[in-house]
Amino acid sequence: MPANLGLDMIRFLPETILTVVGTLLMVLEGLLGRRGAKLYGNLTLVTLAAGIGAAVYANSYAGPAFGGMLMVDGFATFFRVLVMVVGILTVLPSYHFLAQQDAETAEYHVLLLFSIAGQCLMAAANDLIIVFIGLEISSIASYVLAGYLRDDKRANEASLKYFLLGSFATAFFLYGVALIYGATGTVNLTAVRAALTGTDAPAPVFIGVAMALMFVGLGFKISAAPFQIWAPDVYQGAPTPVAAFLSAGPKAAAFAVILRIFMTSFGSFGAVWEPLVWFSALLSMTIGNFAALLQSNVKRMLAYSSIAHAGYVLVALTARSQVGTAAAMFYLAAYALMNVGAFSAVTYLSGKGERYQNVEDFAGLSQKQPLTAAMLTIFLLSLIGVPLTGGFFGKFYIFKAALESHLVWLTVLGLLTSAVAAYYYLRVLVMMYMKEPSDAVAAAEPLSPGLRAALVLPAIGTLVLGIFPGWLLNFAGRSASLVK
């Protein structure tokens, strides 16, 4: 084992970097206080970029680490890079946001880094206990982030709600882990798989209960119905860049865990969990898309939309195939870009104290801020699923995988709910382009460089994924074959 320590450390490098710099930032804050406001942000950006580099570097030494507790493969690398990209796209609009809310601290960035470190750990975990540790690191940091604006009542509510429900969900997950340990005597995913495929596999009922409990815990993190109730309140109450982060980062990491556990360990029990996921997928798409129709607050609307999008990814999981796993990976990447981008536009407009968050506040944005409006248009069209955007290809791959697995009804119903979804995204477009400017738009300041980057970069990414999706899909396809 010690002989491999160097290799293990390389495979664990991204998490190490994030944690070390996070700790360093805490010290720096004590020394510099608010004078270092810009420095904290810049340092976080550099760290995340270094983390991405480390993840890619670690991928060239792919393999298990720490006695099989971590598994660094293409799949893990994909999600590590994804959550760190989400992190970068969260930090970029935060410069503007924190300055505007008069709340520039290093604490914000530290929490963000720790949360991302937890998500990286989840992405690479090959052991249920490591999954749990990663989940907790990620969650506890994000509970605090949700309530970062201490004086804001809504943020407090969001934080408390997220914390209480989240702890409950984690307990469910842990309960499931305990049952699995009881049944198989191991928490290592590969070993669990071996224990479950043999002739002396434990009773399906027992495993079924364990799987259901774990799905409850993870379903909460991805805000899949019927565990979605927290999402609208938390997204609405949390600071907007944090809401963007919550809607993409923890979700992607939790999906990585779900895909790995359900496709690896529980692969042989597919027939048992498929109806469960089928039902949850349909319910998420329906509840998400129909409830979003009624929302007037854009953050709430995006929250419901993110529930629906979790449903689409669950459709890919229901397909129970490598194509499905690859489709889910592609979709999560496309979704992260378009959703975080859309939230950045909300960050830009909402103003001090986050006053302007209603759909009406977007009225006339195209006349005052054509660039912001155009970028938001790209994100919304992508969320609708119009061709030449990443969202369209994501949906296309998911439903293609579903049809390959003969999930005809799920496909048809899913596509129909996605047509319903067009209505609420269009409402924002209508406001931006077809109405006279609102107070919010009139009061909006010029775009800061950070926000400009937070809008333009994901927009470019969305278009690239929409026009040349091949490279990412290839990578996802190759990585997906490792998860089994």
Partner 1 sequence: MNLLTVVLLLPLVGFLVALAVPRSSEGFSRCWAMGVSLATFLVSVALPFRFAHGRAWDRFTVDLPWIASPEIHFHIAADGVSLWLVLLSTLLTPLCVLISWHSISSRVKEFYAFLLLLEFGLVGVFIAQDLFLFYVFWEVSLVPMYFLIGIWGHERRIYAAVKFFLYTMAGSVLMLAAIIYIYNRTQTFSYPALVGMLASGRLAFSPAEEMLLFLAFFVAFAIKVPLFPLHTWLPDAHVEAPTAGSIMLASVMLKMGTYGILHFCLPLFPGAARQCAPWIATLAIIGIIYGALVAMVQPNLKKLVAYSSVSHLGFVVLGIFSFTQMGLDGAVYQMLNHGISTGALFLIVGLLYERRHSLAIADYGGVATAAPWLSTAFLMTTLASIGLPLLNNFVGEFLVLQGTALAHFNWTAWAAIGVILSACYMLWMYQRVFYGVAGDEVRAHVSDLKPREWAAVIPLIAMMVWMGIHPQSFLPSVGRATARVLDQTSINVQFRVEARPPAHTLTEVARAR
Instruction: List interacting residues with partner 1 (CB under 8 A).
Output: 366-367, 370, 381, 384, 386-388, 392, 396, 399-400, 403-404, 408, 411-412, 415-416, 418-419, 422-423, 426, 429-430, 433-434, 468-470, 473-474, 477
Q: What is the 3-state secondary structure (H, E, C) of the chain?
A: CHHHHHHHHHHCHHHHHHHHHHHHHHHHHHHHHHHHHHHHHHHHHHHHHHHHHHHHHHHCCCEEECCCCEEECHHHHHHHHHHHHHHHHHHHHHHHHHHHHCCCCHHHHHHHHHHHHHHHHHHHECEHHHHHHHHHHHHHHHHHHHCCCCCCHHHHHHHHHHHHHHHHHHHHHHHHHHHHHHHHCCCEHHHHHHHHHCCCCCCHHHHHHHHHHHHHHHHHHCCCCCCCCHHHHHHHHCCHHHHHHHHHHHHHHHHHHHHHHHHHHCHHHHHHHHHHHHHHHHHHHHHHHHHHCCCCEHHHHHHHHHHHHHHHHHHHHHCCCHHHHHHHHHHHHHHHHHHHHHHHHHHHHHCHHHCCCEHHHHCCHHHHCHHHHHHHHHHHHHHHCCCCCHHHHHHHHHHHHHHHCCCHHHHHHHHHHHHHHHHHHHHHHHHHHHCCCCHHHHHCCCCCHHHHHHHHHHHHHHHHHHHCCHHHHHHHHHHHCCCC
For partner 1, the closer CB: 163 or 399:
399
For partner 1, the closer CB: 197 or 474:
474
For the bound state, the minimum distance from the C-beta of residue 325 to partner 1, rounded and expressed in Å, comes to 14
Asked if 72 contacts 59 with a C-beta cutoff of 8 angstroms, the reply is yes
Asked if 406 contacts 304 with a C-beta cutoff of 8 angstroms, the reply is no
Residue tagged 């565990």 (tokens) = 227
For partner 1, the closer CB: 429 or 453:
429
For the bound state, the minimum distance from the C-beta of residue 362 to partner 1, rounded and expressed in Å, comes to 14
Give 265's contacts (C-beta < 8 A, 6+ positions apart).
180, 189, 190, 192, 193, 196
For the bound state, the minimum distance from the C-beta of residue 315 to partner 1, rounded and expressed in Å, comes to 12
For the bound state, the minimum distance from the C-beta of residue 272 to partner 1, rounded and expressed in Å, comes to 26
For the bound state, the minimum distance from the C-beta of residue 391 to partner 1, rounded and expressed in Å, comes to 12
For the bound state, the minimum distance from the C-beta of residue 416 to partner 1, rounded and expressed in Å, comes to 6
For the bound state, the minimum distance from the C-beta of residue 375 to partner 1, rounded and expressed in Å, comes to 13
For partner 1, the closer CB: 155 or 473:
473
For the bound state, the minimum distance from the C-beta of residue 481 to partner 1, rounded and expressed in Å, comes to 13
Give 7's contacts (C-beta < 8 A, 6+ positions apart).
61, 63, 65
For partner 1, the closer CB: 37 or 388:
388
End-to-end CA distance of the chain: 25
For the bound state, the minimum distance from the C-beta of residue 333 to partner 1, rounded and expressed in Å, comes to 16
For partner 1, the closer CB: 23 or 474:
474
Q: How many residues does the chain have?
A: 484
For partner 1, the closer CB: 273 or 330:
330
For partner 1, the closer CB: 230 or 424:
424
For partner 1, the closer CB: 162 or 362:
362
For partner 1, the closer CB: 115 or 411:
411
For partner 1, the closer CB: 246 or 384:
384
For the bound state, the minimum distance from the C-beta of residue 408 to partner 1, rounded and expressed in Å, comes to 8
For partner 1, the closer CB: 252 or 476:
476
Structure tokens at 316: 């890919």
For the bound state, the minimum distance from the C-beta of residue 480 to partner 1, rounded and expressed in Å, comes to 12
For the bound state, the minimum distance from the C-beta of residue 90 to partner 1, rounded and expressed in Å, comes to 29
